[in-house]
Amino acid sequence: MTTNIRGICAVVALALGSVGPVAAGQGPAARAAKDLRTLHDRVPPGAAHLDEAVDNGDLPVATLEELAGRTPIVIVGRVFETRTRLTADKRQLGTEVAVRVQARMKGPVAPGELIYLRVPGGKHRFVDGRTVNQFVPGFRSMQAGGMYVLFLRPIPGAAPAVGRGRASGGKAPRPDRATYELAAGPQGVFAVEGPGAYVVPSAPNLMHPLTARYANVTVTDFLTEVSRSIPR
């Protein structure tokens, strides 16, 4: 089946024009992984803030063909909202990203569907005022309101959460709804600002092969190359 690039570009243009932004990763990563203290306790004594690098755990990808080959789902989607929470052991942060599917290029998802991704890192403020920022070095994070081409895979064993839980007052928080994750980490995220504009890869470093190849490519041409790279 041939992907309708013109149709997808029209969807991107329409969505960008009709919806505004929504309000709302032996280096540091290895050291953090070995530190058994909670994230709160890792804030240095006398400080109020911690910046900490995390490893996304994925090997570098050199080509779109390699990326698409390991990816069961490829979509164009708009980020609806993001929500960061502590992991159960309170040692790391994870961010749940709600994405409205604008167009499907591969996989069992439908345009208009709201799906949830889990990505490493995020920003968190503790009740005593201490703040933490965990990030994947060398990559831009997804922003609420942004439109992206995303390469995804299901999270093994994940199932949609039932109900919303309770949001505040020291009671049970809203359950994690994420059932997808990035198939190759943040290197499989490409911001698109409309068919006549240029793609913005998540990796800003021009030495990254995907950034070197696609940083100056229009959205239309990029979508065409993504479609060609998907195994038939």
pTM for this prediction: 0.80
C-alpha span between 31 and 53 (Å, rounded) = 9
Per the domain annotation, does 150 fall within a domain?
Answer: yes
Per the domain annotation, does 215 fall within a domain?
Answer: yes
The torsion region of residue 176 among left (phi > 0), alpha (psi -120 to 50) and beta comes to beta
Taking residues 143-160, what's their average pLDDT? 89
Q: What is the pLDDT of residues 22-47, one digit of tens each?
A: 333 334 444 445 678 899 999 988 88
C-alpha span between 210 and 204 (Å, rounded) = 10
Using 50, 70 and 90 to split pLDDT, how confident is the model at 231? confident
What's residue 3's pLDDT? 66
Q: What is the pLDDT of residues 186-222, one digit of tens each?
A: 899 999 977 778 999 998 888 889 999 998 899 999 9
Using 50, 70 and 90 to split pLDDT, how confident is the model at 137? confident
Using 50, 70 and 90 to split pLDDT, how confident is the model at 21? very low
* 20 pLDDT higher than 80: no
What's residue 27's pLDDT? 43
Per the domain annotation, does 183 fall within a domain?
Answer: yes
Any idea what DSSP says for residue 168? S
Per the domain annotation, does 42 fall within a domain?
Answer: no
Task: Pick 139 or 103 by higher pLDDT.
Answer: 103
Per the domain annotation, does 49 fall within a domain?
Answer: no
Overall domain count for the chain: 1
Map residue 226 onto helix, strand or coil: helix
* 217 CA to centre of own chain: 21
* 158 pLDDT higher than 80: no
What's residue 14's pLDDT? 63
* 126 pLDDT higher than 90: yes
Q: What is the pLDDT of residues 70-121, one digit of tens each?
A: 899 999 999 999 999 998 899 999 999 999 999 999 999 999 999 999 998 9
The boundaries of the domain holding residue 17 are 5-24+59-86+95-122+139-160+174-229
What value does the mean pLDDT of the chain take? 82
Per the domain annotation, does 113 fall within a domain?
Answer: yes
The torsion region of residue 143 among left (phi > 0), alpha (psi -120 to 50) and beta comes to beta
Residues pairing with 151 in the sheet: 74
- % of the chain at pLDDT higher than 70: 80
C-alpha span between 63 and 210 (Å, rounded) = 6
Query: 64: domain CATH number?
Result: 2.40.50
Per the domain annotation, does 29 fall within a domain?
Answer: no
Residue 62, token pair as written in the block: 């050199």
Residue 192, token pair as written in the block: 């698109």
Cα dist from 224 to 2, 4, 55, 146, whole Å: 10, 9, 31, 21
Per the domain annotation, does 222 fall within a domain?
Answer: yes
C-alpha span between 96 and 39 (Å, rounded) = 18
Strand order in the sheet with 49-53: 49-53, 131-135, 122-125
Task: Pick 159 or 166 by higher pLDDT.
Answer: 159
Map residue 9 onto helix, strand or coil: helix
Whether the CB-CB separation of 210 and 218 falls below 8 Å is answered with: no
